[in-house]
A and B are shown apart, each in its own frame.
Chain A
């Protein structure tokens, strides 16, 4: 079974530029999460989807961040414009809506804003 796929793995951009991250969850997983992990810290949730609906986006900085999961499968997280403080690893995870306790994480995208 294929795991959670994320691309790109690494991205370096200048501040004020836009950037987008893509995630394809495990097949059949209805719930998809985007986390941000700052250096030396644990991941923090940005947004959670149940199918195509964003059910928890309270931690998403909506002035510059946006996300979509149009068909309830893969998802895109965008930052526009990026700031220096956005440098972090952006992790995508998925889980079954019913049953199953664990979230399965992708390898993450390491973003560096210069």
Chain B
């Protein structure tokens, strides 16, 4: 079974609008971490935001926020006020046993976001 599922292969959003990228995950661990990375066409993976499974508040980093719904096992990324430079591939990832004993990241298949002028 897929541990990280991103059901949107591609998304379009108008510049200055908000967009939500979906991510659902599957784990039996109680302690885990959820991540979002951005990968522009240049290829490097850029860390955006992190949510721990025990964090009660949704993580926010500037224009990025993570809509964490633990019971539904979803960790959607919300980008507010989209900019042309946000056009990229976005990956959701999970690290199980977030206490630090295992640090492998499992990635989803990604969502290609295109911001339209």
Residues of A participating in the B interface, judged by any CB pair closer than 8 Å: 31, 40-45, 48, 56, 89, 91, 93, 95, 98, 101-108, 110
Q: Which of B18-75 contact A (CB under 8 A)?
A: 33, 35, 37, 42-47, 50, 52
B42 to chain A: which residues have CB within 8 Å?
A: 107
Q: Which residues of B contact A (CB under 8 A)?
A: 4, 33, 35, 37, 42-47, 50, 52, 91, 93, 100, 102-105, 107-110
- Which residue of B has the minimal Cβ distance to A56? B104
- B104 contact set on A, CB distance < 8 A: 45, 48, 56
- In angstroms, Cα B50 to Cα A37, docked, is 21
Query: A104 contacts B47, CB within 8 Å?
Result: yes
A43 and B107 contact, CB distance less than 8 A: yes
| CB–CB B108/A107 < 8 A | no
Provide the bound-state CA to CA distance between A108 and B40, in Å.
Answer: 12
**Bound form: Cα–Cα A102–B37 in Å:** 10
| Assembled-state Cα–Cα distance A48/B101 (Å) | 13
Please, how many angstroms separate the alpha-carbon atoms of A81 and B46 in the complex?
A: 31
**Given A101-B33, A103-B47, A107-B42: A95 and B108 interface contact (C-beta under 8 Å):** no
Residue contact A89 to B43, C-beta cutoff 8 Å: yes
Tell me if A101 and B107 are in contact (CB < 8 A). no
CB within 8 Å for A42 and B110 given contacts A101-B33, A102-B35? yes
State whether A107 touches B43 (Cβ < 8 A): yes
> How far is the CB of B89 from the nearest CB of chain A, in Å?
9
User: Do the beta carbons of A105 and B44 come within 8 Å of each other?
Assistant: yes
A103 and B110 alpha carbons, distance in the complex (Å): 17
- A42–B47 touching, CB < 8 Å: no
Complex-state Cα separation, A107 to B109, whole angstroms: 19
Q: Do A102 and B110 touch across chains, with their CB atoms under 8 A apart? A: no
Residue ID in chain A nearest B43 by CB atoms: A108
Other 7 A-B pairs with CB < 8 A, given A102-B50, A106-B44: A40-B110, A41-B109, A42-B91, A43-B91, A45-B105, A107-B43, A108-B44
